Structures are given as C-alpha cells and as structure tokens.
Amino acid sequence: MERNAREETPEIAFVGDLTDCEGDLTRQLLDVPAGGQCVLYFDSPGGSPYSGTSLMSVILMRGLQATGVVTGECSSAALWPFAACTRRLVTPYSVLLFHPMKWQSEENVGLAEAAEWARHFGHLETEMDHLLADLLGVPHPEIARWMHPGRYVSGPEFAGAGLAELAELKALRLFEKNGAARTKGRAKAAR
C-alpha cells in the first residue's frame, strides 16, 4: 500500500529558468488535486520574480502538501515556490542563492516609465523579502542578512538554520552481481 501511495504522488521537476517553463509547471501543479501531495525537485537558477511568485501562489492557494527537494541549485525566484513547500529537503551539495531582486527591460522606455518601474520593483522587493521570511518561518533580519548584498547558502547551512532537512546521499547502486548490489567504491575494490 505504501508503494502505491508513492507511485501516485506526482513528482514535478523545477529545472532551468522558471520563466521558460512556468506554463508547464503551472499545468502540472494544477493536475495535483487541491490539498494533495506532490514532490517538487529543484535545480533552477530562478527567473522572473513574477514566475516565482505565481508558482508559489498556485501551491499556497491550492493548499498543496508539497515536499520540496533541492537536488542542485535553488536560487533567486525559485526560492518562493520552494519556501511554499510544507516539507523542505536539501543535500550536502545543494546551493541556494539569495539576492536582491533584479529587473531589466529590453525595450526603450522613457524616463517616467523607468522611474515607475524602479518604484514598483523597490516596493515588490521589500514585500517579497518579508513574504519569503514568513514562508520560511524566520525573522526578516535573517533573510535580509542573506539577501544583501547577495549570498550563496549551502544545503548544510540552510538545514542548520532549521529551514530544511538535510538528506544524506548514499552511495549509488551501479549494478547487480551475484544477487548483491555493489556500490561504485566496492566495484573498484573488487577489481
């Protein structure tokens, strides 16, 4: 019965720039029944802050019981959907980049529009920093310390701060021989 529950738990990969895959990720999250369980694997440098907040909003508004696992990188805008997970895991090799929000435009804009964008993003950055701290359950100054000027936080450090569980990676099973699984290290020693 436990195996069937595992097989039925949707697994969704947040890989690459969230902006490029937001539509697909949103559809996959919407396929999870409201209040349902899912596992989200993160290896993302982030993307648009709007993509990150949108995916976070879908997770929260649908009450998903998401387990987030940082398999590589979880940076920038990817931090918000990861923080929305009810259970968070990192590995000794995970890395999370916290930094102030960045914005750019490839369009020619007038001074008034650029000033409005700067005002808006300044407000959005402050609000998002507070939201991230709330989701992670830490005081805002703790997040601010990582955000400014920007800091890479290792998986063990993130877990040590009580923000995730540290998942120790076991040796990979590369092949079966004589009915016994061998790890890479054992295989080399057996030669």
- pLDDT tens digits along 13-30: 999 999 999 999 999 999
Residue 12's Cβ-count burial label (10 Å; 0-12, 13-18, 19+) is buried
Q: Report the range of poorest mean pLDDT among 2-11, 77-86, 134-143.
A: 2-11
Looking at residue 178, the DSSP 8-state letter turns out to be T
- What are the residue ranges spanned by the domains of the chain? 2-190
Instruction: Say what the pTM is.
Output: 0.78
pLDDT for residue 3 is more than 60: no
Q: List the one residue out of 133, 134, 124, 122 whose CA is nearest residue 50.
A: 124
Helix (H, G, I), strand (E, B) or coil at 143: helix
Q: Report the range of poorest mean pLDDT among 52-56, 166-170, 183-187.
A: 183-187
> Which tokens is 151 given?
């800091």
CA angle 119, 23, 147 (to 5 degrees): 40
The CATH code that applies to domain 2-190 is 3.90.226.10
Most confidently modeled range among 22-26, 119-123, 134-138:
22-26
The Cα–Cα gap between 32 and 11 comes to 10
The Cα–Cα gap between 23 and 156 comes to 32
pLDDT digits (tens, 9 = 90+) for 25-51: 999 999 999 999 999 999 999 998 889
Residue 88's Cβ-count burial label (10 Å; 0-12, 13-18, 19+) is buried
